Amino acid sequence: MTLAITAGILVAGAVYLMMQREMLRIILGFILISHAANLIIMASGNSSRRGEPFGTFRDLTTVADPLPQAFVLTAIVIAFSITVFMLVLAVTGREDDDTSQSPPPDDLVDDPKESTR
């Protein structure tokens, strides 16, 4: 029950941050929601009724299930790479504002044909 409440709080915080206008808050919201998803995956693995990963090999029901752990590890790597990509887009997006400027007026452009006359 504690993990479900924690995941709910993380999702609520992530939704709140993603509704803001600042890019950094949106990225932090994405990080929170990826942590909440990882927590939900680990909670669904039901590790409370299982033992250590390498226990006695006589009873295979006490061995921990490695599949949720592998999913979470993969999700952490994917979330980290997407977070870095979003941070790079946020940094370079502010510097790339010159593409939306209008072209200069025609009378300010130097015409090479007029300078030869």
Q: Is the residue at 110 inside a domain?
A: no
The boundaries of the domain holding residue 31 are 1-49+64-93
Closest alpha carbon to 68 in 76, 60, 80: 76
Q: Is the residue at 58 inside a domain?
A: no
Q: Is the residue at 79 inside a domain?
A: yes
Chain segment 41-71, per-residue pLDDT in tens: 888 876 555 555 555 666 666 666 778 888 8
Q: Is the residue at 104 inside a domain?
A: no
User: Residue 19 pLDDT > 70, yes or no?
Assistant: yes
Chain segment 86-109, per-residue pLDDT in tens: 999 988 887 765 555 566 666 665
Q: Is the residue at 24 inside a domain?
A: yes
Question: Which residue type occupies 63?
Answer: V
Q: Is the residue at 12 inside a domain?
A: yes
Q: Is the residue at 106 inside a domain?
A: no
Q: Is the residue at 100 inside a domain?
A: no
- Domain count for the chain, please give it: 1
How many C-beta atoms surround the C-beta of residue 17 within 10 A?
Answer: 19
- What pTM was computed for the model? 0.64
CA 25, CA 75: separation in Å to the nearest integer? 21
